[in-house]
Structure 1
Amino acid sequence: MIAKLKGLLDETGTDWAVIDVAGVGYLVHCSTRTLSALGEVGEGCTVFTDLQVSENDMRLLGFATAGERDWFRLLTQVQGVGSKVALAILSALETAELQTACAKGDAAMVARAQGVGPKLAGRIVNELKDKAGALPTVSGGGGSAIPLSGGASADAVSALENLGFKPAVAARAVATAQGELGDDASESELIRVALKRAAG
């Protein structure tokens, strides 16, 4: 699966962008928030991607951060939420706002997104409430992005919890560590830096 693209921003539209990677143009569908974060046409950019395959379509979705991509995956697990609705939600709300809305059961905030009615918004916050409550808040201004499940960051959070740190403290410390070290940091590196931040 294509997980990430790094290249030049070749062209953009209302909800898509073309990323030129070594002469190959990849069409990626994006939220307006991601599009604004990609920069100007001709500039270098990186997008985290999710490939969706159906019977008659193959679509590549692009995100400015891994955190936004993981929220997209969570959203599309909810019945009635397809890729178009999920992108509309991520266009209307920053990931931190979405997390807060789910944690507090604030369906009205989610219903601000185009195409999301009160009933669907209620289902989204109800189904994601437990998952959102224990997750680190991801900043919306290009800050660090923490994968919501799996990967070195999740293992690092688990390791800190096993050492006696509260889930929220462990998650915040790992989020800070990944922001300093970058997305490719190993579990051991994340744990080392996160321990300093959690104890500080």
Structure 2
Amino acid sequence: MIGRLRGTLLEKQPPWLVVEVAGVGYELEASMTTLVALPGSGEPVFLYTHLVVRDDAHLLYGFARAQERDLFRALIKVNGIGPRLALAILSGMDEDAFIRCVLEDDIKALTRLPGVGKKTAERLIIEMRDRFPHWEGSPGLEASAAGLPATAPLPTQDPLADAEAALVSLGYKPTEAARMLSGLEEEGSTEAIIKAALTRRLAG
């Protein structure tokens, strides 16, 4: 099991990133919460990781905080929640927000996430409620699908286009992704634009 990586961030094309460690480039998929927290390309980076082994691929996921990885691991144990959907949930809200949704039975907020309908939201609340007590007092909390595509989307040098592609890869329909990005400024990084779109979606 690959539990963590420390190296140089070579590429960051949401939701993908590449980290070079001792001359080896590791391709990972990460939530928008993690991507926004990372430095720019060429900078040193440290990530907690989770490896999913399938018959046809070894898939690596990266997390800026151990608590985010803990929540990812708890989510994929819920019936019907795969790594892709777990990552989409973590992209839409951080650990604190998700825990509040579960503890407050906030089905409405959960169903704003891609791939989460009412029944899935109810199942998340029921199955996740008893998994949080051991996280109380965690510094990270206080501070605050079944598989991946075979290849990452190539950068287009157009932040809005890259943001739309990333939202689609997280599970939003193309028309919904376009609507989420409508009116947002093109200035800033792709991940910042995506984060703004996700914030708008959850607030809506």
Q: TM-score range by the shorter chain?
A: 0.5 to 0.7
Q: How is 1:22-61 mapped onto 2 (pairs within 5 angstroms)?
A: 22-61=22-61
Deviation at 1:138, TM superposition (A): 5.2
Map Cα deviations across residues 41-99 of structure 1 (whole Å, 9 max, x no partner). 01111110000011212100100000000000000001111111000000001101111
Residue in 2 that maps onto 1:105: 105
Q: Is residue 14 from structure 1 mapped to residue 14 from structure 2 by the alignment?
A: yes
TM-score (norm 1): 0.67
C-alpha RMSD over aligned residues: 2.0
Contact 1:92 1:113 in 2 (8 A): yes
CA separation of 1:20/1:90 partners in 2, compared to 1, >3 Å: closer, same or farther? same
Partner of 1:79, secondary structure, is coil
Contact 2:95 2:141 in 1 (8 A): no
Q: How is 1:74-153 mapped onto 2 (pairs within 5 angstroms)?
A: 74-133=74-133, 135-136=135-136, 143=143
Contact 2:30 2:61 in 1 (8 A): yes
Contact 1:107 1:118 in 2 (8 A): yes
Deviation at 1:137, TM superposition (A): 6.0
* Greater relative contact order (Cα < 8 A, sep 6+): 2
- Seq. identity, %: 39
Contact 2:102 2:124 in 1 (8 A): yes
Moved over 3 A (4+): 137-144
2:75 maps to a residue whose letter is L
Deviation at 1:121, TM superposition (A): 1.1
The 2-side partners of 1:62 and 1:72 are apart by 10
Deviation at 1:125, TM superposition (A): 1.0
Of 81-90 and 108-117, more deviation after overlay is shown by 108-117
The 2-side partners of 1:117 and 1:48 are apart by 29
Map Cα deviations across residues 169-200 of structure 1 (whole Å, 9 max, x no partner). xxxxxxxxxxxxxxxxxxxxxxxxxxxxxxxx
Q: Which runs of 5+ in 1 are unaligned?
A: 145-200
Contact 2:107 2:122 in 1 (8 A): yes
The 2-side partners of 1:8 and 1:100 are apart by 34
Contact 1:104 1:129 in 2 (8 A): no
The 2-side partners of 1:9 and 1:30 are apart by 13
Bigger-Rg structure (1/2) = 1
Partner of 1:41, secondary structure, is coil
The 2-side partners of 1:138 and 1:112 are apart by 27
Q: Which runs of 5+ in 2 are unaligned?
A: 145-204
Deviation at 1:104, TM superposition (A): 2.1
TM-score (norm 2): 0.66
Q: Number of aligned pairs? A: 144
The 1-side partners of 2:133 and 2:105 are apart by 10
The 1-side partners of 2:138 and 2:107 are apart by 19
1:13 maps to a residue whose letter is Q
2:88 maps to a residue whose letter is A
The 1-side partners of 2:99 and 2:127 are apart by 12
